[in-house]
Amino acid sequence: MSAGGRIVAVALVSQGLMGVVALAVARLAGLSFAWGSPARDVAIGLAAAAGVAAANYALLGRRHVAGPLQPVRDVVDEILMPLFSRLHGWQMLVIAARTAA
């Protein structure tokens, strides 16, 4: 398996496990799941994702970042960029779709 394939596999397994843990904790807490309006829910999700993306870009997109954000910037530069730069576009879409599910 290629490095990109391993990254996709690890991402899918880890995201799946987090989903299972979230469902288990929700059931233990007595939370129920009810479907709302799909169009409204998608719009809210996209708006939240756009807000997070804008904040990430504003905070980490600069070459020089503020003091407390420097460790985060170091992780992005030293780990995440080399890790994800080997992925093809379709592999990133699979990871993004899986994390959204």
Quick: pLDDT tens for 73-91. Answer: 788 788 888 888 888 888 8
Measured CA angle at 19 (ends 72, 88), to 5 deg: 60
Local confidence band at 3 (pLDDT 50, 70, 90 cut-offs): low
Measured CA angle at 66 (ends 62, 86), to 5 deg: 45
pLDDT confidence of residue 79: 85
Average pLDDT over residues 9-14: 79
Is the CB of residue 4 less than 8 Å from the CB of residue 91?
yes
- The packing angle between helices 3-28 and 89-100, to 10°, is 10
Give yes or no for residue 32 having a pLDDT over 70: yes
- 1-7: which pairs have CB atoms within 8 A and are 24 or more residues apart? 3/86, 4/86, 4/87, 4/88, 4/91, 5/91, 7/83, 7/84, 7/86, 7/87, 7/91, 7/95
Which residue segment(s) compose the domain that 14 sits in?
Answer: 3-100
pLDDT confidence of residue 63: 67
Work out how many domains the chain is built from and give that number.
1
Average pLDDT over residues 34-39: 80
The region of weakest confidence among 4-8, 39-43, 50-54 is 4-8
| Percent of the chain scoring above 90 in pLDDT | 2
Question: Tokens in use for 64?
Answer: 């020089």
More confident site: 5 or 71? 71
